[in-house]
A and B are shown apart, each in its own frame.
Chain A
Amino acid sequence: GDSVTQMEGPVTLSEEAFLTINCTYTATGYPSLFWYVQYPGEGLQLLLKATKADDKGSNKGFEATYRKETTSFHLEKGSVQVSDSAVYFCALSPNLNTGFQKLVFGTGTRLLVSP
């Protein structure tokens, strides 16, 4: 079945450091890919998305590119801030032509940014 694998955390960085959180997936067809973020005490928020191969999603300085050849969707940010400390979840939505709409999530990666 469909699955998402992301790097285990926590990832601990100093402010202004470069961030990469790896995410790879297994799916049939052409899924849509997402990064969700959960800040302390809050719900999951959509951070960015990509719906087809080579698409780049971006938001708040974060980027991720849909790489079908490597089945990856790694999250990157050039300069992290303390306010980026949160748990990041990679997720996929199977091809809607199959009629299924549930999201399949990875285990989440906690990011801790220190001043």
Chain B
Amino acid sequence: EAGVTQFPSHSVIEKGQTVTLRCDPISGHDNLYWYRRVMGKEIKFLLHFVKESKQDESGMPNNRFLAERTGGTYSTLKVQPAELEDSGVYFCASSPTGQYENIQYFGAGTRLSVL
């Protein structure tokens, strides 16, 4: 069974440009999460989808970030325009519903470098 996959693995862009990150969750997982780790600090929650609906987007830093999950399958996270402080590793995770233990399965992450 395929795990959570993320594209690209690394992106280098200039300040002011737009970048779109993609996440393909494990098939059948309704829950999809985005997290970010900046400069070796803690991994912080960005948002949570249940199918195509945003359940919790309290961690989104500002309106330059836009997340979508069309059809409840893959998700994209767009940063427009990118700023220097957006650099970091963006992780995606997924989990099935009805799971008491809340085990989330993570992708390898996308390393974003804004120059």
Contacts and interface: CB of A to CB of B under 8 A. Distances in A.
A6 to B, nearest CB: 9
A10 to B, nearest CB: 11
Given A93-B102, A100-B56, 17 more contacts: A4-B42, A32-B101, A41-B108, A43-B108, A44-B106, A51-B100, A51-B101, A89-B43, A91-B43, A96-B100, A101-B56, A102-B59, A103-B43, A105-B35, A105-B42, A106-B42, A108-B42
A63 B17 CA distance: 45
Contacts of A106: 42
A105 B43 contact: yes
B45 interface: yes
Interface string A14-56: 0000000000000000001010100001111110010100000
A107 B41 contact: yes
A101 B43 contact: no
Interchain residue pairs A-B with the least CB separation, the first 8: A44-B106, A43-B108, A105-B43, A102-B45, A93-B102, A107-B42, A43-B106, A105-B42
Interface of A: 4, 32, 34, 36, 41-46, 49, 51, 89, 91, 93, 96, 100-108
B25 interface: no
A108 B43 contact: yes
Contacts of B91: 43-44
Interface string B94-111: 010000111111111100
B103 A104 contact: no
Contacts of A32: 101-102
Given A89-B43, A101-B102, A42 B56 contact: no
Contacts of A42: 108
A102 B3 CA distance: 19
10 contacts: A42-B108, A43-B3, A43-B91, A49-B101, A89-B43, A93-B102, A102-B59, A103-B35, A105-B35, A105-B44
